[in-house]
Structure 1
Amino acid sequence: AWADGFAHVGWPTLVALGVLTALSLVADVLSTVVGAQRVGASRKALWGTFIGSIVGLFFMPIGLFAGPLLGALLGEYWHTRELGRSTKVGLATWLGILLGLALKLAVVIAMLGLFAFAWFL
C-alpha cells in the first residue's frame, strides 16, 4: 500500500488487516489455553501455558511450540507433582497450538483475499 502511495489499498483496508492480525494473535494464545483446559489442567498449568506462550515469542520459531508446552507441563507438575498427568496436559496444549496454527492459516488466507480485493477494486 505504501509503495504506490496508498492508491490501491487505503487506510480502512489496512485497519481491517491490523484487526485481523490482532485476532490471529488472540486466537493463537486462546487455542493453546483451551487445549490445556480440555484435559482438566489446573490454574497453574493454564498460567504456565499463557506465560510460556508469551516467553516463547522471544525464542521464535521453536519457542512458539516449546514455550506453551513447557509452561503447561511445569505448571501442572508444580500443582500435582505427577509427571504423567503433566505430560498429558503439555501434549493437549501442543494440540491446541496446532489448532491455533490452523486458525492463523485461515486468517492469513482471509487477509490475502481482503488485500487482493482492495488492490484490484
Structure 2
Amino acid sequence: MNKIILLIIVSSLMLAGLAGTFLPLVPGLPLIYLAFLVYGFFTGWIDYGFNFMLVWGIITLLLMFLDYYTGALGAKKYGASPAGIWGAIIGGFLGVIFLGFLGIIAGPFLGAFVGELLSGKTHTSALRSSWGTFVGYLAGSLFKVIIGLIMIGSFIWQVWR
C-alpha cells in the first residue's frame, strides 16, 4: 500500500479515536489502537513490535473498563440511581446528535437530571445526582483525551525516530 494513503488512513483513525475519547458511543482509544494495528500490518511491523502493541493493548482494555467506572463512580458518589446513569448515557448520545459540541457537555447532565426526576427524586436531589454524573463523565473524558494524546505521541515517536 502507498505510504501516503496508509498515513491518511492511520491519521483518520487516530483523529476519530481522539474525538471518540469524549463523544459517547465512539470507541476512542480502541480506534487509536486499531490505527496501530493497521500501520503495523501494512509496514511489516518494522517501526514497533510486540511489546509496544502488548502494552498499549492492555492499557486500552483497562481504560475501556475504567471509562464506565468513572461515570458510575461520580454518579454513585452524588447519589444517582440507575435511571440517572441511563439518562446520562442516553442524554450524551442525543445531546451530540441534536446539540453538537454543546451536547457533549449538556447531554449527559440533562439526561441524568431527567432520569432522576422520572425515578421519583426531587429537583434538588436530581440536580445533585446529575452534577455527580457530569463530574464523573468529565473526569473520565479528560483522562481518555490525555491517554489518547500519549498513545498518538508514542506512535509518532516510534515511527519517526
TM-score by shorter chain over 0.5: yes
Equivalent residue number for residue 55 of structure 1: 94
Residues 57 and 25 of structure 1, relative CA distance in 2, 3 Å threshold: farther
Residues 57 and 23 of structure 1, relative CA distance in 2, 3 Å threshold: farther
1:10 to 40, 45, 57: 40
Residues 92 and 120 of structure 1, relative CA distance in 2, 3 Å threshold: same
* TM-score normalised by L of structure 1: 0.72
Q: Which has the higher contact order (CA 8 A, sep 6+)?
A: 1
Is this contact kept in 2: 1:33–1:50, CA < 8 A?
no
SS in 2 for 1:10: helix
Residues 48 and 91 of structure 1, relative CA distance in 2, 3 Å threshold: same
1:1-121 paired onto structure 2 within 5 Å: 2-3=3-4, 5=6, 9-11=39-41, 30-59=69-98, 60-121=100-161
Unpaired runs of at least 5, structure 1: none
Q: What is the aligned-residue RMSD (CA, Å)?
A: 3.3
Deviations 1:71-96 (A, max 9, x none): 11001111124000001011111211
Residues 72 and 79 of structure 1, relative CA distance in 2, 3 Å threshold: same
Amino acid across the alignment from 2:4: A
Is this contact kept in 2: 1:36–1:46, CA < 8 A?
yes
Deviations 1:20-50 (A, max 9, x none): 7898777555533332122221111111111
Unpaired runs of at least 5, structure 2: 8-38
Identity among equivalent positions (%) equals 28
